Amino acid sequence: MRLAPRALCRAAQAAWRENFSVLGRDVARWFPGHMAKGLKKMQNSLKLVDCIIEVHDARIPLSGRNPLFQETLGLKPHLLVLNKMDLADLTEQQKIMQRLEGEGLKNVVFTNCVKDESVQQIIPTVTELIESSHRYHRGENLEYCIMVIGVPNVGKSSLINSLRRQHLGKGKATRVGGQPGITRAVMSRIQVSERPLMFLLDTPGVLAPRIESVETGLKLALCGTVLDHLVGEETMADYLLYTLNRHQRFELGVQWCNLGSLQPLPPGSSDSPASAS
């Protein structure tokens, strides 16, 4: 029997849901320790902070941000940095900006912190945001303090290092790595600019304790915000192939699975999709 595409979608979704809800318990267990402590410390440091930079992955601009940030840290001026733009499809950039604006996010910048692309807009934008904020009472204090927040592995520490490279010509000040959970605690202030005198606070990546949907969880996992084995490599691969098929990007699936050298089945042969019933 051949399943209609809609039925296939439902079957695939049921499979992820089952796998994810079993494996999701491990993800939840992975959450509390340093993330809960980190969030508390972030809240406690908030009174010293003039502005929040939230970093997120440009490949999933509309999903996976942690709603707790808005609830607990939402009172300060806010800039959303969509990082890893080099890995994202930016053809829909305008639409993405419009959707985010509709959600109240007016200040959005796309960056690549490995190649320092578009990072130079950040300090002027943040300065403007702080100075136009109605809560801004500078007094004698001539320095800005910014907190960098986001889910794990989106490039928070890379952004700080990139700003330092660009504005101070200095090397790495905070550790970066390809696994989620590299930064484990709220760090002391790191200088990123001389004029204006600006310091950034690096923070550990914090995921929402409850991820809003199975699909969001899988997107977050594919972007490396959760350790692969906690979600299950097979479930992730399954979802990736499903997504590529849904967007009719068959060539990417073939390339990714290294199936390029396989010959297509002749029409009518017993295993060809055309003959399936």
Ligand X SMILES: Nc1nc2c(ncn2[C@@H]2O[C@H](COP(=O)(O)OP(=O)(O)OP(=O)(O)O)[C@@H](O)[C@H]2O)c(=O)[nH]1
**Given the rule CB under 6 A, which residues bind ligand X?**
83-84, 86-87, 112-114, 150, 152-158, 176-178, 180-183, 204-205
| 122 contacts 146 by C-beta, under 8 angstroms | no
| Spatial distance between the Cα atoms of 24 and 74, rounded to a whole number of angstroms | 28
With CB cut-offs between 5 and 8 Å by kind, which of Mg ion, ligand X, none does residue 178 bind? Answer: ligand X
Select 77 or 180, whichever has its Cβ closest to ligand X. 180
| Min dist. Cβ of residue 225 to Mg ion (A) | 12
Task: Compute how many other C-beta atoms are within 10 angstroms of the C-beta atom of residue 249.
Answer: 14
Select 46 or 182, whichever has its Cβ closest to Mg ion. 182
| Spatial distance between the Cα atoms of 199 and 190, rounded to a whole number of angstroms | 5
With CB cut-offs between 5 and 8 Å by kind, which of Mg ion, ligand X, none does residue 84 bind? Answer: ligand X
| Min dist. Cβ of residue 225 to ligand X (A) | 8
| Sheet of 108-110, strand order | 108-110, 78-83, 51-57, 143-149, 197-201, 190-193
| Min dist. Cβ of residue 212 to ligand X (A) | 20
| 3-state SS class at 261 | coil
Main-chain dihedrals φ then ψ at residue 147, nearest 5 degrees: -105, 135
Select 60 or 201, whichever has its Cβ closest to Mg ion. 201
| Min dist. Cβ of residue 152 to ligand X (A) | 4
Select 107 or 112, whichever has its Cβ closest to ligand X. 112
